[in-house]
Structure 1
Amino acid sequence: MSQEFAARPVLPDPASAPELFDGLLTRRVAAYLIDLVLMGVIVVVLSVVGAVLGFFTFGLAWVSLIFVVPASIVLYYAATLGSHRRATVGMQAMDIVLTPTRGQPLDGWMAILHALVFWVTVWISWPVSLLFALFTPRRQMIHDLVVGTLMVRRSPMTRHWQRMRAGDQYGV
């Protein structure tokens, strides 16, 4: 793979690689629901631990309970999206992966930024964010465009990038 290709990757086109975007919005919603359940379990467990610790610390640990929900969400996304798999548990179950579009690496900070902008746009107006994805060719939501990411199906993605690298080697 050439240095130029690595610095300026070609984004997949839905017309030439429709398998990457097949059922993507449905998969994203299902992945979100799975992740919501998992984050809920994490929040409940941490809340119970904080409540019990509150009795031993004469109520001091109860003050920390206001940070349980935001900390759980941030840590969940940083640990899953920021990993080498670039997907949360729900995204892995739904065979989708997050990829950067601006030639920068997808690390923990970008994963946290992606999650933060996602939660802000969903909090402000989730129907607009979902409708926005219906009218973009790559099914990107508002937070994907702002942060510079693209969600695609994982299994066909590997084959797509191998074809792109082979085409780049032969000057196509």
Structure 2
Amino acid sequence: MSADYSGTPVRETVYDPFTRPDLFEGVRTRRIFAFFVDVIAISILIVVAAVVVGFLGIFTLGLAWLAYAILAPAVALLYIAFTLGGPEAATPGMRAMGLEMRLWYGARPYPLLATMHALIFWFSISFLTPLILLVSLFSERKRLLHDIALGTVVMNSGALER
């Protein structure tokens, strides 16, 4: 048995949907609801950050207002990096829905991988249309295209602990 970057033990086996179907029950639906919870949380954080930047702009004679150009993407990427790439391996929306992300061999995602996961998701949706989400209907682990590309798996956290 090996360990991931945080020192937690990692199993060398792949999560098999045929031997452990409980890991993947309802994942697709709960991912959708988790996405909406996270969008609301990120929107609230963006509003708070915009107010802070607004006040900073007054004190810096407008210089801080240049941060508005990158405010929304920066807040969203930091949110993803520190929640999905953190020790819980899940965003608050994913935790609320009982989901957790792991790499294909069992390790937890790290902040850079979590950021890349979000970027690839948004670029694939933007360029390949939302129809790319239909990939999950044909994947036995209910993985999306960006999950497959990065080697990640989203599973039920309760079943994962058992």
- Which structure: larger Rg? 1
Q: Quote the offset at 1:61 in angstroms.
A: 1.0
Show the counterpart of 1:16. 19
Number of residue equivalences? 157
The answer as to whether partners of 2:98 and 2:156 remain within 8 angstroms in 1 is yes
The answer as to whether partners of 1:9 and 1:101 remain within 8 angstroms in 2 is no
The one-character-per-residue Cα deviations of 1:44-67 (angstroms, maximum 9, x if unpaired) are 111111112212221111111111
The one-character-per-residue Cα deviations of 1:75-127 (angstroms, maximum 9, x if unpaired) are 10111011111000000000000000157652111111111111211222353
Q: Quote the offset at 1:8 in angstroms.
A: 6.9
Q: Which amino acid aligns with 1:83?
A: G
What are the equivalent positions in structure 2 for 1:5-154 lying under 5 Å apart? 9-101=12-104, 106-154=109-157
How far apart are the structure 2 equivalents of 1:40 and 1:78?
Answer: 16
The answer as to whether partners of 2:98 and 2:158 remain within 8 angstroms in 1 is yes
Unaligned residue ranges in structure 2 (runs of 5+): 4-8
Greater shift, 146-155 or 102-111, is seen at 102-111
Unaligned residue ranges in structure 1 (runs of 5+): 160-172
The answer as to whether partners of 2:2 and 2:11 remain within 8 angstroms in 1 is no
How far apart are the structure 1 equivalents of 2:46 and 2:40?
Answer: 10
After superposition, the Cα gap between the structure-2 partners of 1:115 and 1:50, relative to the gap in structure 1 and judged at 3 Å, is same
Report % sequence identity. 37
The answer as to whether partners of 1:100 and 1:150 remain within 8 angstroms in 2 is yes
Flag the structure with higher helix content: 1
How far apart are the structure 1 equivalents of 2:87 and 2:10?
Answer: 19
Q: Secondary structure at the match of 2:154?
A: strand
How far apart are the structure 1 equivalents of 2:65 and 2:11?
Answer: 49
Q: Secondary structure at the match of 2:70?
A: helix
TM-score by length of structure 1 reads: 0.83
After superposition, the Cα gap between the structure-2 partners of 1:63 and 1:98, relative to the gap in structure 1 and judged at 3 Å, is same
Greater shift, 56-65 or 79-88, is seen at 56-65
TM-score by length of structure 2 reads: 0.88
